[in-house]
Amino acid sequence: MYDCMIKVAINGYGTIGKRVADAVAAQKDMKVIGVSKTRPNAEAFVAKQRGFPLYIADISKKEAFEKAGLKVAGSVEDMCKAADVIVDATPGKIGATNKALYEKLGKKALWQGGEEHELAGFSFNSSCNYKDAIGRQFVRVVSCNTTGLCRIINEIDKEYGVNHVHAIMVRRGSDPGEIKKGPIDAIVLDPVSVPSHHGPDVLSVLPHISITTMAMIVPTTMMHMHAIQMTTKKPVTKERVIELINKHPRLGLIKKTAGLKSTAELKEFAMDLGRQRSDLWENCIFEDSIYANKNELCFFQAIHQEADVVVENVDAIRAMIGGEKDAAKSVAATNAALNFKTIQNNH
């Protein structure tokens, strides 16, 4: 029923925020009561098209918005007051500055991976620690890369026991709609030092895992690519790994028959299949790359940086509000509302 719907505000209607808004709006138990923007640009017109009330960070800019034909519903504070939970999707490090407001209003809030673990005190991944998020006031949904790592590491760990993970993140330089960031023709070590922050970040969700990560940035906008090696306690087989992937609601398998061997072809496939915004919410593990040799498991997985955390945000909201105690049920509800079946079911 309408009355018992969770009232969600999206603070920061950008790359992540606009996706979470649409995902929330699609859920049966949630609704978007407002989204916030700083400037009257194209994304503001998208909010208008969707019918999301538009709030603005700096109310003195109201006139500029209205001149552009965009109705302003109020300030960010107004929006937060009206919400049960706030999804903070402002740019990295900005989110932290909003905590005082959420505390003052006594509101539940969740941040994205651009913020530090300490800000929320709890780092979330639906497949790993949904239960621990139930009822919390503050949650941080880990970054796209960490989300992708946690999902698969946890699955392999439960089955075989993970001794050590060596993961290389080859990251996209910017999102497709971003025009200022490079590089144009370079491979950039980010950071140069080893391990990158991704390893420690995995530990914020799965503290017992031994992992060394290395990360770089390359001139592409499409997706990240992970080259992963895990050494395991028990011997691994390719067949069983495929089974584990197929049983998991957010582990995708790119089957050999599809003939896909790149992020670009994969995004094109998602687009052709009619996924909203061509979003790939699942890890995209290449079947043909899965290499199991005794206690060594290697594979490639592509991670759609803009998408995988979106479904996690929805589950996090549900856990925080406490209406659904069962992780699997929340995940199933989230996926169903988005018509999301992992990609192996489409080829």
Ligand X SMILES: NC(=O)c1ccc[n+]([C@@H]2O[C@H](COP(=O)([O-])OP(=O)(O)OC[C@H]3O[C@@H](n4cnc5c(N)ncnc54)[C@H](O)[C@@H]3O)[C@@H](O)[C@H]2O)c1
Q: Which residues are catalytic?
A: 144
16 is in an annotated binding site: yes
The CA-atom distances, in angstroms, between 190 and each of 136, 172, 195, 249 are 33, 11, 10, 31
Asked if 218 is part of the footprint of a second copy (rule: CB under 8 A), the reply reads: yes
CB of 180 to ligand X, least distance (A): 11
Instruction: Return the residue of 91, 92, 135, 183 that touches a second copy, per CB under 8 A.
Output: 183
Decide if residue 37 touches ligand X (CB under 6 A): yes
Partner whose footprint covers residue 143, from ligand X, a second copy, none (CB < 5 to 8 Å by kind):
ligand X
Q: Which of 51, 47, 60, 49 is nearest to 89 (CA)?
A: 47
296 near a second copy (CB under 8 A): yes
Name the residue whose CB lies closest to ligand X.
14
Pairing verdict, β 30-37 and 54-56 = parallel
Identified binder of a second copy from the candidate list 104, 121, 158, 192, rule CB under 8 A: 192
Do 18 and 37 contact (CB within 8 A), yes or no?
A: no
Q: Which of 20, 23, 89, 214 binds ligand X (CB under 6 A)?
A: 89
* Interacting positions 168-227 with ligand X (CB under 6 A): 175
At its nearest, how many Å lie between ligand X and the CB of residue 39? Answer: 6
Q: Which two tokens stand for residue 74?
A: 């109020």
Q: Residue 198 annotated as binding?
A: yes
304 is in an annotated binding site: no
CA gap 183, 340 in Å, rounded = 33
Distance CA 117, CA 198 (A): 12
In 3-state terms, what secondary structure has residue 39?
Answer: coil
| Candidate list 214, 280, 284, 317; residue touching a second copy; CB under 8 A | 214
Residues 6-25: x/- map of binding to a second copy (CB under 8 A)?
A: ------------x-------
Helix pair angle (42-50, 15-26), 10° resolution: 0
